[in-house]
């Protein structure tokens, strides 16, 4: 298990980066809500005597609940017991807090991509610590189109079986692995197609290969379906002749696939 975690963390931003920024965002958002409440108090009191107290109580509840959800993520990362109550709200909260986290990160010189990468590391850790196991035929492996060699003439986006496994890119390696292990492999040209494939295949888990940005949105999009991400390698820049570390893919597969 430790080896897998380390493999997923290689050259990745630290998990505490995302969690720290999320907590800081939470704090600033609560502060902003408090400021707005203070400003609105006289107006609210004019409408109804107890309205400031009601609105204040509501804001305290929202702030406490969202703080609890972030703390729940910290517990999950540490492998400690978590409250299921928070699980379904976690990604909704991330969607709200992420823009704040990006702005805070910018102030201290942290790039958006680093924060997204840190999110993927956190999400992967939670996935692996949940010890999710699925039979190979219930696993969907998704890769981006940029993994295909740009000069390859074969159309693999609708049917990856058109790949001739020539060894020119990792699509062939993934196809070979899919044949050996029995999981479904699909090359998606974008988020919409990826979502369609998930709807059609109805897998029990997804292993997605993509860049930080696409993994971040993809993992949230398929929730509550468990998804683990493997970052692609971009020796030629983004979205062009990308690669994936097949050893890393195999290590993650070994961790989550069980024999039928």
Q: How far is the CB of 174 from ligand SF4 (least distance, A)?
A: 9
**Among 114, 148, 184, 232, which residue sits at the site for ligand SF4 (rule: CB under 6 A)?**
148
Task: Kindly provide the b/e burial profile for residues 111-138, where b requires at least 16 CB atoms within 10 angstroms of the residue's own CB.
Answer: ebebbbbbbbbbbbbbbbbeebebebeb
257 has which bridge partners? 134
What 3-state class would DSSP assign to 135? Answer: strand
Binding to ligand SF4 by residue 193, rule CB under 6 A?
A: no
The span of 86-94, 161-169, 216-224, 226-234 binding ligand SF4 (CB under 6 A) equals 161-169
Spatial neighbors of 144 by CB under 8 A, at least 6 apart, are 187, 188, 189, 209, 210, 211, 214, 232, 239, 242
Backbone phi, psi, residue 248, to 5°: -65, -45
- Is 35 within 8 Å of 10 (Cβ atoms)? no
Least separation in angstroms between residue 232's CB and ligand SF4 is 14
**Applying CB under 6 A, which of residues 70, 156, 206, 222 lies at the interface with ligand SF4?**
156
Question: Which of 77, 169, 230, 252 is in the footprint of ligand SF4 by CB under 6 A?
Answer: 169
Shortest distance in whole angstroms from residue 230 CB to ligand SF4: 18
Contact string 40-79 vs ligand SF4 (x = CB under 6 A): ----------------------------------------
Instruction: Tell which one of 77, 100, 101, 163 touches ligand SF4 (CB under 6 A).
Output: 163
If binding is defined by CB under 6 A, does position 227 make contact with ligand SF4?
Answer: no
Contact at 8 Å (CB) between 103 and 22? no
**164 lies in the site for ligand SF4, by CB under 6 A:** yes
Q: 209: closest CA among 218, 220, 201?
A: 218
Q: Which residues are near ligand SF4 by CB under 6 A?
A: 148-149, 152, 154, 156, 163-166, 168-169, 171-172
């Amino acid at each position: 298990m430790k080896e897998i975690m380390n493999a997923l963390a290689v050259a990745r931003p630290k998990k505490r980066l995302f969690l720290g920024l999320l907590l800081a965002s939470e704090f600033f958002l609560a502060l902003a809500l408090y400021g707005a409440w203070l400003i609105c108090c006289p107006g609210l009191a004019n409408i109804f005597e107890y309205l400031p107290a009601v609105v204040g109580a509501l804001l305290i509840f929202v702030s406490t609940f969202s703080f609890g959800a972030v703390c729940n993520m910290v517990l999950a990362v540490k492998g400690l017991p978590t409250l299921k109550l928070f699980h379904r709200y976690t990604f909704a909260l991330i969607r709200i807090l992420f823009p704040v986290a990006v702005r805070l990160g910018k102030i201290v010189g942290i790039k958006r991509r680093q924060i997204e990468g840190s999110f993927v590391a956190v999400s992967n850790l939670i996935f692996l610590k949940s010890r999710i196991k699925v039979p190979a035929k219930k696993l969907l492996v998704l890769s981006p189109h940029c993994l295909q060699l740009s000069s390859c003439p074969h159309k693999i986006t609708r049917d990856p079986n058109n790949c001739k496994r020539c060894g020119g890119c990792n699509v062939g390696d993934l196809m070979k692995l899919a044949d050996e292990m029995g999981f479904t492999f699909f090359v998606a040209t974008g988020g919409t197609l990826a979502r369609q494939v998930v709807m059609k295949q109805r897998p029990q888990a997804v292993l997605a290969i993509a860049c930080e940005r696409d993994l971040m949105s993809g993992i949230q999009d398929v929730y509550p379906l468990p998804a683990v991400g493997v970052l692609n390698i971009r020796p030629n820049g983004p979205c062009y002749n990308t690669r994936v570390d097949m050893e890393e893919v195999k290590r993650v597969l070994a961790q989550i696939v069980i024999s039928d």
